[in-house]
Amino acid sequence: MLLKSLIKPKERLVTVQENVTLEEALKILEDSGYRCVPILDETGTIFRGNIYKMHIYRHKSRGGDMQLPVTTLLKNATKFIKIDAAFFNVFFSIKDLPYIAVLDAENKFYGILTHTRLMDMLSQSWNVNIGSYVLTVVSPGTRGDLVGIAKIITKYTNIASVISLDARDGELVHRIMFTLPADVDKTRLDRIVRALERKDFQVPEIENLNHEI
């Protein structure tokens, strides 16, 4: 389920009403510095879509009428999620958007979830700021592999986080990324890697989180 703490609520947003002109909308976009903002109905409760600065510029450069309503260039009318949406659906709905509109249980506009905020949350869940190393472990994807790998690693240390990357079509392996806690040193890391390889789990990549990028 989507966490409300990730959502920027309506009260903190720049929006435009559906009855404003393209000229008025462009001024709002230019003053705010945003490349797009939500379009709401006159009551400010119903999400109509988004207006993008680039589309207004293009319209204007072609001699278009700037007194037309902003809805003339409305985009993403169906790009929204419910506040109780499953995280899996959220992740793929927002993939190609700077943000996605969020509706409450009554289908009223609640706020937006930005692409940046979602990526920040995923980064935090990876625990890169408090980890020592990230191991990429390759497995054939057979039943019990994840449990087997975790058991080997937890003989030597706790696991700060784990992310499983599903194999693509045509690939016969899975990549599982384990973040190890900050107290794991190089000696213990080497022991973990050797133990994994003895069980035929390859470790093709090790990222040292202590090295500044």
Spell out the per-residue pLDDT of the chain, length 213, in tens: 556 788 999 999 999 999 999 999 999 999 999 999 999 999 999 999 999 999 999 999 999 999 999 999 999 999 999 998 877 778 778 888 999 999 999 999 999 999 888 877 776 666 556 788 999 999 877 889 999 999 999 999 999 988 886 655 555 568 898 999 999 999 999 999 999 999 999 999 998 987 644
* pTM of the predicted model as reported, rounded to 2 decimal places: 0.69
Pinpoint the residues of the chain covered by CATH 3.10.580.10. Answer: 4-121
User: Cα–Cα distance between 128 and 195 in angstroms, integer?
Assistant: 23
What CATH class does 128-208 carry? Answer: alpha beta
Q: How many residues does the chain have?
A: 213
Q: What is 4-121's CATH topology?
A: CBS-domain (3.10.580)
Q: If we measure between CA atoms, which residue out of 28, 49, 42 comes closest to residue 100? A: 49
Residue 107 DSSP symbol: S
User: CATH 3.30.70.260: which residues of the chain?
Assistant: 128-208
The label of the residue with tokens 């935090």 reads: 124
Amino acid at 20: V
By DSSP bridging, strand 36-40 and strand 161-165 are unpaired
Do residues 150 and 195 lie in contact, with contact meaning Cβ atoms separated by under 8 Å? no
Cβ-based burial of 111 (10 A; exposed 0-12, middle 13-18, buried ≥19): buried
